[in-house]
Amino acid sequence: MYAFVAIGVILMIMTMSSGLTPEQSNCEDCGAVGSFIGLSYILLVIAIVAALGGAVLQSIMNPGKIKGTLIGIGGMLVVIVISYVMADGTVEPYYVNDVSETASKWSGAGLYAFYILFLLSVAAIIYSSVARFFK
């Protein structure tokens, strides 16, 4: 894992020091920067596969913990559905040419999900503090 972190930091430093400007972001003539970005994508895919593979392997080795994982995934799905229902798909007139109604709705859903999860985490911290105080 530390090897992936080290490689990522090295690639980030090399990419940031390449002098690539936002005007050149299409990378038609990026040289080594394009290769580093491609390598970063490959390493990202490897890290995702390793994380998912580790989770599946742990689930196979200890099936009793699957229940907790499924409860967590179900809770996240409930938060996402509630956020999507609450979100408004209205696009401001300034962005009408750049942003679709669907993108606006999903963006709002992401913000609502963040707010809900933030409030739930604060509530959990307060609850654990109060419960420990009364023990």
Cα torsion at 8, 10, 16, 18 (round to 10°)?
Answer: -130
Secondary structure of 15-40 as H, E, C letters: HHCCCCCHHHCCCCCCCHHHHHHHHH
pTM confidence score:
0.60
- With a CB cutoff of 8 Å and minimum separation 6, the contacts of 24 are 30
Residue-wise pLDDT for 10-54, tens only, equals: 877 776 666 655 555 555 555 555 666 777 788 889 989 999 998
Which of 75, 135, 82 lies closest to 111 in space, CA to CA? 82
Q: What is the pLDDT of residue 21?
A: 58
Please state the domain extents for the chain: 1-61, 64-135
Q: What is the pLDDT of residue 80?
A: 96
Q: What is the pLDDT of residue 112?
A: 95
> d(Cα 92, Cα 133) in Å, to the nearest integer?
48
Which of 98, 81, 102 lies closest to 90 in space, CA to CA? 102
Residue-wise pLDDT for 66-119, tens only, equals: 888 889 889 999 999 999 999 988 888 887 788 888 888 999 999 999 999 999
